[in-house]
Amino acid sequence: MRFRRVILPVVLVCMTSAWPLARGRDSRQQGPPQQPPPPGSSAAIPPPAPVETQKIGAGQGKRGPKLTAPAVLSRPSARFSLLFLQYRQADADAAVANLAKWTEGELMAEAVSSPTDDVWARAALATFLTEAGMRRGTFGLFSDYSPDSILLKDWGLDKNFEVASYRSQTIVKDLTRIAKKRNDDELLLFCGRWYAAATSYALRHANYAVKGLRDLADHDVGETGPVRLLMGSMYEPRIGPFMPTATVPCQRGMFMGPDGCVYDPTNRFSPPWTQEALYLLKHAVEADPTSVEGHLRLGRVLHLLNRNVDARPHLERAFHDAQAQEIGFLTYMSGLFLGDLLQHQGKYAEAVPILRAAVAVAPTAHIGNIALGEAMLKSGDTTGWDQVRHMFDDEDQAHPKATDPWFYYRYAQYWRLGTSLRELRQMTKVHQ
């Protein structure tokens, strides 16, 4: 059994903090359970995905032999070239499923760029490797060939990470440079979308790749709409609301928002998360005024800051557009937030149909049903008790209901990962 120490750099001069990260080779080669293919539509609420867990130990156990990385070919192998051709011109899903079965050594040696590839062929290679790595459940994890002690630079990914994520991020980083040099907005948009999808995946699975991907995305393509939305979505959950305790209403640097304590953007003792979320989400909406999720998240931040006059138009726009586009996840979340805003204004009767539309998308969602039942009761409809009670029909420990969509909201754009990957795939196919 091998163990790996992850050494993270800190601000103090010439100092690092280190701890052993116990990860047995057998369990690492197997990876987490195989994930199902991405959902077929952005309107679908994604099923729960496995979470990569890593045990922090004290270095106990016997180290296994170090693996030797295979030699990398100067051009893709014949079998990889055929699979790549299938991905670009025939059955892409079958090609991804096939590549996901390859070992990391095979990917490392054979899945390389051709010397004659143009920028969009290289972009397609990045999406192919990304999809295969995510299908395998290893995207953003450490490589089987990485050393026992790792110094994380938190600036993109390096060879310590498994080959699909490392190689695809290397390609996208170079494509970003080319796009800026050529003033190619479409290629730059592709890079921004790739970072949004890859970072959201790493965020959902809580692996070490998330910080490096986030920081490089912010530095290289931070001006693109997808990355501004990504960054704002990562700051937004940090601002609150947090429930006050019985003895301390709100900590210094916070104020009481409609749902609990929120970091005050005007207080010098507060972290900059609220200001960052507001700035980034405002610019995300400016970059793409049609972004339903941008309006949703910006409206929620404004509501948490008690700026309901500013918040309501964004939430109403998100609710209307999500329904028109039949995007179930955003219909549920915008209905939940807009209904919450109306309830805080005492407009319970107005909140009921909006919350009812949200619950129609996810009938077994606990949060939506409780919010609807509360609004019904406060509007004078005593059947609100039945609304909440029926939520638990046929549910027990052995037969839990579907995960509430609210669970995915904290993971940036992970809720639409399948759609994001198909959009990236389509962008490369246009340029074949």
Domains of the chain: 3-39+72-219 (no CATH), 236-416 (1.25.40.10)
Could you write out the three-class secondary structure of 77-145?
A: CHHHHHHHHHHHHCCHHHHHHHHCCCCHHHHHHHCCCCCCCCHHHHHHHHHHHHHHHHHHCCCCCECCC
Cα separation of 353 and 339, whole Å?
A: 9
Please name the amino acid found at residue 88. Answer: R
Task: Please list the rounded mean pLDDT of every run of 10 residues in the chain (432 residues).
Answer: 53 35 37 44 47 35 66 94 96 97 95 94 98 96 88 86 97 98 97 98 95 96 96 95 87 91 92 95 96 98 96 98 97 98 96 96 90 91 77 70 90 97 95 86
pLDDT of residue 402: 80
pLDDT of residue 214: 96
Q: Strands 149-151 and 254-257, how do they pair?
A: unpaired
Is 270 in contact with 253 (CB distance < 8 Å)?
yes
Cα separation of 266 and 264, whole Å?
A: 5
pLDDT of residue 5: 59
pLDDT of residue 13: 34
**Count of H helices and E strands in the chain?**
18, 6
pLDDT of residue 201: 98
Q: Tokens in use for 348?
A: 């319970």
Could you give the C-alpha distances from 256 to 11, 91, 268, 298, 308, in angstroms and in order? 33, 54, 17, 19, 14
CA 431 to chain centre: 27
Q: Tokens in use for 246?
A: 């019985």
Please tell me the pTM assigned to this model. Answer: 0.84
